Chains A and B, each alone.
Chain A
Amino acid sequence: MSDKAIKASERSELKQAARACVHCGDPCGQGSLEQDGRWFCCSGCQTVYSLLNNHGLETYYSLEDSPGLKPDFVRRADRFAYLDRDSVRSRLTDFDDGHTARVTFSIPQIHCSSCIWLLENLHRLHESVLSSRVDFQRRQVSIAFQIDKLYLSRLVALLGSIGYEPEIGLSDLDKSKPDRSYRSLYGRLAVAGFCFGNIMLLSFPRYLGLEATSDLPVNRLFDYLKILLAIPVVFYCALEFFRPAMSGLRQRQLNMDVPIALGIAVTFVYSLHEILGLHGAGYMDSLAALVFLLLVGRLYQKKTYFSLAFERGYRSYLPIAVMRKTAGSEQSIPLDEIAIGDTIVLRNQEIIPSDGILSKGRAQIDYSFVTGESESVPLSEGDRLYAGGRQVGPVIEIEVTKEPSRSYLLQLWEETEATVQTHPALETLANKIGRHFTATVLGVAAVTATVWWIIDPSKVMLTTTSVLIVACPCALALASPFALGTAQRLMGRVRFFVKDSSVVERLASATALVFDKTGTITQSGVTEPEYVGRPMNDIEKTMVFSVVRQSTHPLSIQLRELFADSRELPTTDFSEHQGLGLQADVNGHRIKVGSAEYVGTTVPDSVESNVVYVSIDEIAVGHYRLPNRFRSGLKEVVSELAKQLRVSLISGDHEGDRDRVRGVFGTDPELRFNQSPADKLHFVSSRVKLGEQVIMVGDGLNDAGALKAASVGLTVVEDDASFTPASDGVLSARSFRRLPQLIGLARNTMTIIRISLGISLVYNLVGLGFAVQGLLSPVIAAILMPLSSVTVVLFTTLATGYLARRRGIV
């Protein structure tokens, strides 16, 4: 049988046995359980089912198919004890009077309507829960409960027991108020729309040229009403533009808001002067239309993705509490209270909170979070440990040598912050143009005033103000928000989420692109191990599986997935030799799994990284190759990108893969291996200092510093719903191959903006032509100004949509 045939038969076996667990949807294999005619994959899922069933909550299972999450019973129940400390409790709760309290938790696991239903029916599970409300977009639940009857730790444990353990990180302690800025924007938009519509209505007699025939007092009344309606537009709605203009002026900068604010102010004052002085009808309609459309543009630009946290720092990855060992007893304490010299206890899969020395036990530390190296490191007593590593295996004890805030990891992070602050913010195109624009308009106004002063001094006021009114860069200010906003929205459809629309602009101006390797261009989780050697029969495979199952080494875990369906045989005399391999007796046979020298075979020519050899009774049978599989389409993505950008790769991994990477990347791109997070950061920031606009594409864990230092930091994530590292943009792994198209779209968007700036300039020149001659009547202003805005809005939106479709993004 060929290797492929073996794999195929294994997969079909898996399918036959697949009876999905009612709770979590995993296939029920060996050891599945049955209750009420429903099948469960493990006792955990069954426990949740019976718990919900006993409380009349079985609706959970009828809303969606297998909505549940596998509960995690392995970890200690008392690990939440620290939550009941006053210092922690008061900082976590939104409200707490000793009897009742309200707390808001982030639960990334929320994914379907069943989740909402169950979490909003928590009061049926525990009588001390008063009410709970889910915010699906933000993946949060807000719970009101009787804190004197149900401790916070018990509440968290309750959520954990049904599979919804909240994510409580160090950053949750310094909670900021939820963002409500959109409320004022909505309010301003509503008021502006209301006033705009009514002012237009009141202007109709004038548009139709009825002033001569109609009653004068009515017209006068209409004009006064217009003033009344324009007051909230200027003094409430337009604050959105006055404030940034003021702060820009204070910093001696002419940004885009300055000419807008100038135009609004001049239009209002001049219209007031015309109406009250009985000279004419003013331009209140144009003013209201302008403010309304600009506000729509602002709203369009303000698209946010609530469930994504773009601002997460390292702090949110560290635990809030650790177990401290004092005189034989263990106690859960908040991370802030760790002192140098304390002994802390770390269990399997827990993260080291601060630098220290291993004082007891044998550690197997997975530093992939810090270094990007995918293989874990074995350490023995007396060795130094760094914060951010994850213990894989048995319980260890650590003597703390540095406070968490001074650990290597956090210092690296702070170093980045310092670098980033010194590196100047990229000026947006709109602001750059706005600066020249303001100067030009003021120049034209001055020339007009001088010329008319010579021709006819009585018309100076009229012409100069008309110039300022008509030159108001309404269309100019609308082009960027609508084009960038549309691009941002369309990118979101293929699961590429950017923090704000300025990221689109920065993407377009990029000159270089740096890839991180592990997790970014390689795919984790779906790696299919490749078996080479003498075919093994089923019993032999089961024996190997039984041995591999005993180990938590990352390679063992990867191997285990190959045998997902196998039964487990009892093993005796199991031993694991760090960095070498494992061995055990199964069915009277000695099974060895590990490196070539450990197993006792000769090493083949290539020294590849992830190869696991197997021997039965000291006779080598073959080896599994566990490749870092590259993402599909990587080669095309790289060659496509290399046409437009300088592509390079930095990796925390060893050089074992260099040849394979070279095969994909071609001869040009620079490849760097063995890079620490600090190296990555320095590499990117040195490029930035040389004046390059660097896009860094990483996985957001060990390269967070580099992501921050780059002009645009993008993270590639397998599951955008549950894990979103801090960055400027999050790209779902499924859309990885669209990366060149997405950058192309960003570039197209900037071209569209430039074209529409040209269009609006033409309108402005026509208007200015009328204005400098003193011919700008309210009717011309009322037609010209909205027309230019509408043209620009339609053009940018449609053109961006069209180009996105042509690039196959929508």
Chain B
Amino acid sequence: MEVMLILIGFSLGVATGFLVAFIWALRRGQFDDLTTPAIRMLFESVNTEQPSGRS
């Protein structure tokens, strides 16, 4: 039965970790804008293909 206590504690700990991570991300504003980053992430690859200097 002791192993059960350890497992319960462990599973709760892991789940709490994820919960805290989610809330942290939420407070950092990572869920404020869900559209633009999805488009923005495509730009980098375009940029590396056509490197252009800053003037």
Query: What residues make up the interface of A, taking CB atoms closer than 8 Å to B?
Result: 54-59, 62-63, 113, 116-117, 120, 124, 133-138, 180, 182-183, 186-187, 190-191, 194, 197-198, 202, 215, 218, 221, 225
**How big is chain B's contact interface, by range?**
20 to 34
Whose C-beta in chain A lies nearest to the C-beta of B4? A218
Q: In the complex, which residues of chain B have a beta carbon less than 8 angstroms from the beta carbon of A202? A: 8
CB distance from B21 to the nearest CB of A (A): 10
Task: Assess whether B42 is in contact with A113, with CB atoms less than 8 Å apart.
Answer: yes
Q: Does B6 contact A (CB under 8 A)?
A: no
Picked from B19, B32, B54, the residue with its CB within 8 Å of the CB of A124 is B54
CB distance from A179 to the nearest CB of B (A): 10
In the complex the two chains form, what is the Cα distance from A575 to B50 in whole Å? 55
Task: Assess whether B26 is in contact with A187, with CB atoms less than 8 Å apart.
Answer: yes
Q: Contact string, B1-32, partner A, CB cutoff 8 A, digits 1/0?
A: 10011001000100110010011001100011
**A-B residue pairs in contact (CB < 8 Å), sample of 6:** A56-B55, A62-B46, A113-B43, A124-B55, A137-B33, A197-B15
Q: In the complex, which residues of chain A have a beta carbon less than 8 angstroms from the beta carbon of B33? A: 135-138
Asked, given contacts A59-B46, A62-B46, whether A134 binds B54 with beta carbons under 8 Å apart, the answer is no
Task: Assess whether A113 is in contact with B39, with CB atoms less than 8 Å apart.
Answer: yes
Task: Assess whether A116 is in contact with B40, with CB atoms less than 8 Å apart.
Answer: yes
Task: Assess whether A134 is in contact with B36, with CB atoms less than 8 Å apart.
Answer: yes
In the complex the two chains form, what is the Cα distance from A116 to B38 in whole Å? 11
Task: Assess whether B47 is in contact with A59, with CB atoms less than 8 Å apart.
Answer: yes
Task: Assess whether A190 is in contact with B39, with CB atoms less than 8 Å apart.
Answer: no
Task: Assess whether B26 is in contact with A63, with CB atoms less than 8 Å apart.
Answer: no
Task: Assess whether B47 is in contact with A135, with CB atoms less than 8 Å apart.
Answer: no
Whose C-beta in chain A lies nearest to the C-beta of B38? A136
Task: Assess whether A183 is in contact with B27, with CB atoms less than 8 Å apart.
Answer: yes
CB distance from A60 to the nearest CB of B (A): 10
CB distance from A298 to the nearest CB of B (A): 16
In the complex the two chains form, what is the Cα distance from A453 to B15 in whole Å? 46
Task: Assess whether A136 is in contact with B27, with CB atoms less than 8 Å apart.
Answer: no
Whose C-beta in chain B lies nearest to the C-beta of A63? B46
CB distance from B55 to the nearest CB of A (A): 5
Q: In the complex, which residues of chain A have a beta carbon less than 8 angstroms from the beta carbon of B34? A: 137
Task: Assess whether A215 is in contact with B1, with CB atoms less than 8 Å apart.
Answer: yes
Task: Assess whether B19 is in contact with A194, with CB atoms less than 8 Å apart.
Answer: yes
Q: In the complex, which residues of chain A have a beta carbon less than 8 angstroms from the beta carbon of B8? A: 202, 225
Q: In the complex, which residues of chain B have a beta carbon less than 8 angstroms from the beta carbon of A138? A: 33
In the complex the two chains form, what is the Cα distance from A663 to B47 in whole Å? 59
Task: Assess whether A194 is in contact with B39, with CB atoms less than 8 Å apart.
Answer: no
CB distance from A119 to the nearest CB of B (A): 10
Task: Assess whether A136 is in contact with B50, with CB atoms less than 8 Å apart.
Answer: no
Task: Assess whether B36 is in contact with A136, with CB atoms less than 8 Å apart.
Answer: yes
Q: In the complex, which residues of chain A have a beta carbon less than 8 angstroms from the beta carbon of B19? A: 190-191, 194
In the complex the two chains form, what is the Cα distance from A138 to B50 in whole Å? 30
Q: Among B36, B40, B52, which residue has the most Cβ atoms of chain A within 10 A?
A: B36
Asked, given contacts A63-B46, A194-B15, A198-B15, whether A56 binds B23 with beta carbons under 8 Å apart, the answer is no
Whose C-beta in chain B lies nearest to the C-beta of A124? B54
Given pairs A56-B54, A133-B36, A187-B26, 5 additional interface contacts (CB within 8 A): A124-B54, A135-B36, A186-B31, A194-B16, A218-B4
Task: Assess whether A183 is in contact with B36, with CB atoms less than 8 Å apart.
Answer: no
CB distance from B5 to the nearest CB of A (A): 7
Q: Which 9 A/B pairs are nearest by Cβ-Cβ distance?
A: A56-B52, A136-B36, A136-B35, A194-B19, A113-B39, A137-B35, A135-B33, A190-B22, A55-B55
CB distance from A581 to the nearest CB of B (A): 50
Q: In the complex, which residues of chain B have a beta carbon less than 8 angstroms from the beta carbon of A187? A: 23, 26
Task: Assess whether B26 is in contact with A183, with CB atoms less than 8 Å apart.
Answer: yes
In the complex the two chains form, what is the Cα distance from A55 to B35 in whole Å? 27
CB distance from A299 to the nearest CB of B (A): 12
Whose C-beta in chain A lies nearest to the C-beta of B39? A113
Task: Assess whether B22 is in contact with A120, with CB atoms less than 8 Å apart.
Answer: no
In the complex the two chains form, what is the Cα distance from A134 to B53 in whole Å? 22
In the complex the two chains form, what is the Cα distance from A59 to B52 in whole Å? 9
Whose C-beta in chain A lies nearest to the C-beta of B55? A55
CB distance from B13 to the nearest CB of A (A): 11
CB distance from A613 to the nearest CB of B (A): 52
Task: Assess whether B12 is in contact with A198, with CB atoms less than 8 Å apart.
Answer: yes
Whose C-beta in chain B lies nearest to the C-beta of A57? B52
